[in-house]
Amino acid sequence: MPVAIKRCALIDERQKKEFGQEMLILSQINHKNIVKLVGCCLEVEVPMLVYEFIPNGTLFELIHGKNQALQISFSTLLRIAHEAAEGLNFLHSYTSPPIIHGDVKTANILLDENYMAKVSDFGASILAPSDKEQYVTMVQGTCGYLDLEYMLTCQLTEKSDVFSFGVILLVVLTGQEPLKLNGPETERSLSSNFLSAMKENNLDAVLPIHVKGQESNELIRGLAELAKHYLDMCGSNRPSMKEIADELGRLRKLSLHPWVQIDAEMETQSLLGGASTASFQKEGAASGYPTQEGENLPMNPSSSYYAR
C-alpha cells in the first residue's frame, strides 16, 4: 500500500510537540473525510508520521496551482467543500473532547483518487479545553484564513474553524486567493472585499463569469449569504459545523436534483433566518464526465505527494 511520509522540517522541541499532538489527535479519528494516520516514528532524531497516500493533491492546487488547468465544475467544488465540512463536523461533534483544527485552509484539504475531500495537517490542532482560561495560546494559522476574533483574544474555538471554512467557501465561489500581497491595501483581503460587496448588494463584483454561467442566481446568492454568516465578526453568531454541513448538503441536493420538490411545511429553518433552501436551484448542468451522483470530475487527474 502506498503511503505518504510527513517529516519534521525543523528539529526543535516545538516541532516535536506538534508532531506528538498530531499523532495523538489522528490516532482517535476514523472518518472518510479525514486523512488516515497509519503509523509514526517519533523516538528518532527526525520525527515522521505515516499517512495513507492521497494522490490528487490539494484543493488549493485544484483552484490556484498546478492542477487548475483541469476542467473542474462548480458542482464538484461545492461537493468537495461539503465533504470538508463533514470532516470538520466530525472533529467538533463526534470526538471527546472536541478537536479544533486550527489551520483550516484549501491547502489542508487533500483530494483522493475520486476527488473526495480529506482534511489534513493537524499540527496546529488542539483538544477543546473545558476551562476557558486554558484557551489562551499563541496565535498561529494562515493569514487570510485566520479568525479575526481569535487574533484579538488568542482564544481558539470551534467557531474559529467556522470562520476559516467561510473563507474556503469564498475561494470556491470566487476562484481568488484569500490574500493578495500586491495591489491596493484595501483590496488585499478576499473576505473584506466580499463583505463590502455584500453590504453594497454588488456580489457580481467578486464572482467570476464561469460560476455565474454554471449555476442559478438563487444558489449562488444562497451560498454567498451562508459565507457571510460564517464570517461574522462575533464567533457566537456563527453556526456550528454541523449546521454548515447539513445546510451545504441540502443545497447540493437541490443543485443536483432541482426537480425534487420539498414540502415547505416539512423544511426546517435554514441558516438564513427562515428562508427555505428549496429556492436554491440549479439551471442546467456543466460539461465534463458525470459521476454516479451526477457531478463532474476533472478529465485529466494528476498526482502529488503529501510530504514535508
Q: Residues with Cβ < 8 Å from 187, sequence gap 6 or more?
A: 180, 193
The verdict on 270 and 153 lying in the same domain is yes
Domain tally for the chain? 2
Residue at a domain's end among 37, 53, 69: 53
- Which residues span the domain enclosing 127? 55-297
Q: Is 80 in a helix, a strand, or coil?
A: helix
The verdict on 30 and 108 lying in the same domain is no
**Does residue 164 register a pLDDT over 90?**
yes
Query: Residue 71 has what pLDDT?
Result: 75
Q: For CA atoms 49, 93, 277, 149, give the dihedral sign.
A: negative
Give the N- to C-terminal CA distance of the chain in Å, as an integer: 20
CATH number of the structural domain spanning residue 292: 1.10.510.10
The verdict on 67 and 194 lying in the same domain is yes
The verdict on 68 and 26 lying in the same domain is no
Q: Residue 283: inside a domain, yes or no?
A: yes
Q: Is 260 in a helix, a strand, or coil?
A: coil
**Does residue 197 register a pLDDT over 70?**
yes
* Cα 144 to Cα 25: distance, rounded to the nearest angstrom: 25
CATH number of the structural domain spanning residue 15: 3.30.200.20
**Active-site pick, 12, 103, 131, 204:** 103
281 pLDDT band, cuts 50/70/90, is very low
6 pLDDT band, cuts 50/70/90, is confident
Nearest-5° Cα angle at 290, 288 to 291: 140
* Cα 96 to Cα 116: distance, rounded to the nearest angstrom: 25
Of 242, 293, 238, residue with least CA distance to 268: 242
Contact 225, 218 (CB under 8 A): no
pLDDT above 70 as % of the chain = 77
- In the annotation, is 103 catalytic? yes
* Cα 268 to Cα 152: distance, rounded to the nearest angstrom: 35
* Cα 27 to Cα 12: distance, rounded to the nearest angstrom: 23
Q: What global pTM score does this model have? A: 0.81
User: How many distinct helices (H) and strands (E) make up the chain?
Assistant: 9, 9
Q: Is 48 in a helix, a strand, or coil?
A: strand
| Each residue's pLDDT tens digit, 209-224 | 778 777 788 889 999 9
Q: Is residue 290 classed exposed, middle or buried when 0-12, 13-18 and 19+ CB atoms within 10 A define those classes?
A: middle
Nearest-5° Cα angle at 110, 146 to 141: 20
Q: Residue 308: inside a domain, yes or no?
A: no
Residue range 165-176: mean pLDDT, rounded: 96
70 versus 110: the higher-pLDDT residue is: 110
The verdict on 67 and 200 lying in the same domain is yes
| Each residue's pLDDT tens digit, 14-27 | 777 777 778 888 88
Contact 60, 105 (CB under 8 A): yes
The verdict on 19 and 145 lying in the same domain is no
| Each residue's pLDDT tens digit, 107-156 | 999 999 999 999 999 888 888 876 655 555 667 889 999 998 999 988 89
